[in-house]
Amino acid sequence: MKRTDDMKLATPCGEYCGICPHYEEECDGCSFHKGHPSWGECKLYACVSKRGIEHCGLCADFPCDFQIGYFDPDNPEGQRNAVVRTGLLAYRNKHGNRKWLDLVKKTPKARREEDIN
């Protein structure tokens, strides 16, 4: 893995770029690219930036339909991933960045779509 401050790999949507299979090969992380990771534009990043908060879990409207419905429809695990991100954001909001980071680092690496099929 690239050497970087772990919190720079924390995303506003609840993901942690350090476990993403695209991180080392194609992308330096959502926050590094200011909401334009390797796959395109992240509208959640734009929403969080507009509201001036660190992540969706800090929003007064959390959880909202926009956040829970924001996922790749071509990914068979997309909706499930959105629900997991919501739980991770709630945990991050309640317990803080360090405990959240410890938790996400214990989760298995994300799988590429071609590995799922």
pLDDT in tens, 69-78: 998 888 888 8
Has residue 1 been placed in a domain? no
Has residue 39 been placed in a domain? yes
Has residue 104 been placed in a domain? yes
Has residue 69 been placed in a domain? yes
Q: What is residue 117's predicted lDDT score, i.e. its pLDDT? A: 37
Q: Which domain holds residue 26?
A: 7-110
The total domain count for the chain is 1
Has residue 117 been placed in a domain? no
Has residue 116 been placed in a domain? no
* pLDDT score of 2 more than 50: no
Non-local CB neighbours of 67 within 8 Å, separated by 6+ positions = 13, 44, 47, 56, 59, 82, 85, 86
| Burial readout 75-114 (b: 16 or more C-beta within 10 A, e: otherwise) | beeeeebbeebbebbbbbbeeeeeebbeebeeeeebeeee
Mean pLDDT is lowest, of 28-37, 45-54, 87-96, for 28-37
